[in-house]
Amino acid sequence: MLEIADLRVSYAGIQALRGVSLNVEAGETVALIGPNGAGKSSLLNAVSGLVRPAGGSIALNGTDIAGSSPWRVTEAGVLQVPEGRQVFAEMTVLENLQVGQTALHGRDPTYSLADVYRVFPILDERRDQRAGSLSGGQQQMLVIGRALMGGPRLLLLDEPSLGLAPVIIEQVFAALARLKEAGLTILLVEQNAHLALTASDRAYVIEQGVIEKSGASADLARDPDVTALYLGQT
């Protein structure tokens, strides 16, 4: 579904991505792990059109979308859940979800409002509450639900566990597992390497803008370098 080749991204002459290549097959959950500043968010932002690449290609189902506007990327069915949640604080939960529908651009929805409420029942309970008054975990559920309302073929998740309590992280990732079982394709950026490797089929390790390792997530979880650097084991 997604094929990235030799992707390069720079900010004011500083290279954030230096020739990154990776792929995501339909129905997979693929994780991208690495330290802060490694280029994880830059890659997602390049895919979603928020950052214009300095070079390389980003093909979605065989069509190059590198350099496309975010509007065109969402129109193609790529929806990003940003780091830090970014809800529309003064709008209600329901209004936030309805905003997500604007990404459909005439496409048939793949997730109805009822579907989102089944994935995250708390959003149904709080549908008339201002989004800014929700807890951090509830806001994370809301932004994932908002993206689902846009009919994603590919869901980009940027640090979904950031700042959440362990019990809430478990709930969020249980919901993501159900979405995967239903066939959703996910590219997951996550600093919690153990969580990312547990939740994904395959993974890539990125350091200083370069892919250093890749493979089945279960294999990477046993790799001595990965366990020493990212899993706190020796």
Whichever domain contains 188, its CATH number is 3.40.50.300
**What type of residue is 41?**
S
Q: In this structure, is residue 166 part of a structural domain?
A: yes
Q: In this structure, is residue 173 part of a structural domain?
A: yes
Q: In this structure, is residue 12 part of a structural domain?
A: no
Q: In this structure, is residue 78 part of a structural domain?
A: yes
Verdict on whether the full-model pTM lies above 0.95:
no
How long is the chain?
234
pLDDT of residue 84: 83
- 169-197 pLDDT, tens per residue? 999 999 999 999 999 999 999 989 999 99
Q: In this structure, is residue 182 part of a structural domain?
A: yes
pLDDT of residue 234: 42
CB 49 within 8 A of CB 221: no
Percent of the chain with pLDDT over 90: 88
Q: Which single residue is written with the structure tokens 């720079």?
A: 10
Q: In this structure, is residue 6 part of a structural domain?
A: no
Q: In this structure, is residue 208 part of a structural domain?
A: yes
Helix axes 93-100, 136-148, angle to 10 degrees: 30
Domain that residue 76 falls in: 27-52+68-230
- Determine whether 188 is exposed, middle or buried from the number of CB atoms within 10 Å of its CB (0-12, 13-18, 19+): buried
The structural domain count of the chain equals 1
Per-residue confidence band for 72, with pLDDT thresholds at 50, 70 and 90:
very high
**What type of residue is 11?**
Y
Per-residue confidence band for 233, with pLDDT thresholds at 50, 70 and 90:
low
H or E element, residue 216: strand 210-216
Q: In this structure, is residue 72 part of a structural domain?
A: yes
Whole-angstrom Cα distance, residue 58 to residue 82?
19
pLDDT of residue 231: 74
